[in-house]
Amino acid sequence: MTPVFTEQLVSLMLEHISHTENGIAALDANDRFIFFNPAFTAMFGIADYLTLGHSFDDMLTRMFSHGVGTNCKSSTLPEWLAYVHSQYRKKPFRSFEVDLVNGRWLLMTEQVNENGEVVLVGNDITRAKQAEQALKAAKEILKQQALTDELTGISNRRHFMQLVHYEYNRARRYDSRISLAILDIDYFKKINDNLGHPVGDEVIRHFATLLQQQLRKQDAVGRLGGEEFALLLPETTEAEAAVMIERIIKQLKQTQLDHIVPGLSYTFSAGVAELKLTSAASIDSWVSIADQALYQAKTGGRDRVEIYQAKGK
């Protein structure tokens, strides 16, 4: 059914277009403005500039040179104009989001008529966009919490074991060397019992920071739980891993901890296992060997690193 545009209807539509909060503008086939309402110029910060007959590029140039309206992603005006032109008039109808320099967001629609005129409509979606961004940020926080140890900020057991699985498969695929170390702070229970849990927490945080500072870019560190930590050392033999941990032991002995408790010192023990690329080498067996090496370091006097040695060797 063809709509009947009565004088009353036309008057109503013109009244709406003039006073709506949505920004509305129209350009002729030569991209010169033939209409815009107050909301349109207010949205883009050009109320004191835009007049009928101005071109679309005039508006873009004004916004870029005066730092108003659209948040330009390009460093120069020609680059920005080229980007806008690559999108403009490419479809009979399109919708897209625009972020403004004042922090607000618009949902824009662009309709190209058969005769070449263009109608632009902008709807303020700032609240919806802020809610979307807040939800995205909350999801990212939850994701980080799921992967990160709350006390130390390093990988928790779950995330560290994901890294172990990834590096295990990569080592098998490329026949590369990789070592795993499990570390445990010595006599940690005495620290908690004698100095209190807050001091114990500070020791845990200090140890995590020490490990992070001593590791290479490709290495990974995680807290397995309590006072137990683990290191994943790609492209590293067990002998090289042991040397690396010896360096950390030495560094810890030279570290002043009076900022935690005057006179405080602590040590740790570590067990190292290199992944042996045999058909029977599973992740569980690899972790188990590192754990057994840690046990040997503990029973061998603590404050040391051990590479697993089978009985009788």
Which of the residues are catalytic? 227
Angle 188-195/197-214 helices, nearest 10 degrees? 140
Task: In whole angstroms, give the CA distance from residue 308 to residue 241.
Answer: 12
Measured CA to CA, the distance from residue 228 to residue 268 in angstroms comes to 10
Tokens of 278: 């045999």
Q: Which residues of 64-74 are buried (b: 16+ CB within 10 A; e: fewer)?
A: beeebbbebee
Alpha helices (H) along the chain: 7-19, 38-43, 56-66, 77-87, 126-147, 157-174, 188-195, 197-214, 238-253, 283-299
How far apart, in Å, are the Cα atoms of 310 and each of 21, 239, 297, 306, 307? 78, 16, 13, 12, 10
Three-state SS at 101: coil
CA dist., res. 161 & res. 155, Å (int):
9
Q: List all residues 6 or more positions away from 174 whose beta carbon is below 8 Å from its beta carbon.
A: none
